[in-house]
């Protein structure tokens, strides 16, 4: 049985000019009858693409911290901009020229389809970079309580998608809802993904980008199921990632009413 239909609430989608994949983590029901809080955490593609009007919308939303998950090499391409918001940089994955990719990429290449490739590669990320995932969650937890946190990478699908999935599962959002929210990034990023695929230098890389450019809901569900099998719970994983119990409690209070 596939993921259940998911009705997106209109006010979860945020229109910040220059970005195409911005939405709230608020409005998700949890398994214990609560609801995730609006104005607590926002997921986004790279906010460095925002126009002046887009930055104004971000500031008007009450954002007090930005957690930037991009590569170090992505940061150096940013245009200078004075931003009146604290930015915490957590480079979640190895830079593109890091030799570690020679070990990670074949994991996905060996899989028969996009869903299983995404699952396998995401689990590699979560295990290889576990302390950095812990650092990203801690950065959300330690943000000022009186403002929203924006979590972003480049497209807002993979690095951001995993951090968001951990946050939502930590507070008890069901797996199918998390998978459905993740899948929304696929159509949002269709044009960005097509341009990325077109720049591939050979057929192997083109196939890899095509496979990795989609966002199958079942892949994120399968990732969380396996993580819970290994660690008992997402909280168990984050504990192993070095997140302090107080920080886990703090981020939970941020996200649920």
Each residue's pLDDT tens digit, 168-191: 999 999 999 999 999 999 999 999
Report the candidate in 120, 119, 134 with the shortest Cα–Cα distance to residue 221. Answer: 119
Give the domain ranges of the chain: 11-255
Classify 11-255 by CATH class: alpha beta
Give the span between the Cα atoms of 192 and 76, in whole angstroms. Answer: 20
Which of 143, 169, 156, 177 minimizes the C-alpha distance to 227?
169
- Stated as kind and residue range, the H or E segment containing 229 is helix 217-231
- Euclidean distance between CA atoms 215 and 184, whole angstroms: 8
Q: Which of 2, 241, 18 is nearest to 132 (CA)?
A: 241
Token pair 């930015």 in the structure block, residue: 87
State pLDDT tens for residues 44-101.
999 999 999 999 999 999 999 999 999 999 998 888 787 789 999 999 999 999 999 9
Taking residue 247's Cβ as centre, other Cβ atoms within 10 Å add up to: 18
């Amino acid at each position: 049985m596939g993921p259940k239909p998911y009705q997106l609430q209109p006010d979860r989608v945020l229109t910040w000019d220059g970005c195409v994949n911005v939405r709230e983590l608020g409005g998700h029901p949890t398994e214990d009858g609560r609801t995730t809080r609006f104005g607590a955490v926002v997921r986004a593609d790279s906010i460095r693409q925002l126009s002046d009007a887009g930055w104004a919308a971000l500031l008007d939303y009450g954002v007090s911290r930005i957690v930037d998950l991009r590569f170090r090499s992505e940061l150096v391409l940013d245009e200078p901009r004075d931003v009146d918001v604290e930015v915490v940089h957590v480079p979640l994955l190895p830079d593109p020229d890091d030799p570690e990719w020679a070990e990670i990429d074949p994991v996905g290449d060996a899989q028969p389809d996009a869903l299983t490739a995404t699952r396998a590669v995401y689990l590699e990320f979560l295990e290889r970079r576990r302390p950095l995932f812990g650092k990203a969650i801690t950065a959300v937890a330690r943000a000022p309580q009186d403002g929203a946190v924006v979590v972003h990478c480049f497209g807002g699908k993979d690095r951001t998608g995993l951090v968001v999935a951990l946050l939502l599962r930590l507070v008890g959002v069901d797996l199918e809802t998390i998978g459905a929210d993740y899948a929304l990034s696929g159509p949002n990023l269709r044009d960005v993904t097509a341009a990325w695929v077109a720049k591939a230098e050979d057929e192997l890389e083109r196939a890899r980008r095509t496979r990795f450019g989609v966002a199958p809901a079942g892949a994120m569900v399968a990732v969380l199921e396996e993580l819970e099998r290994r660690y008992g719970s997402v909280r168990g994983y984050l504990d192993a990632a070095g997140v302090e119990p107080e920080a886990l409690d703090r981020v939970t209070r941020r996200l649920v009413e």
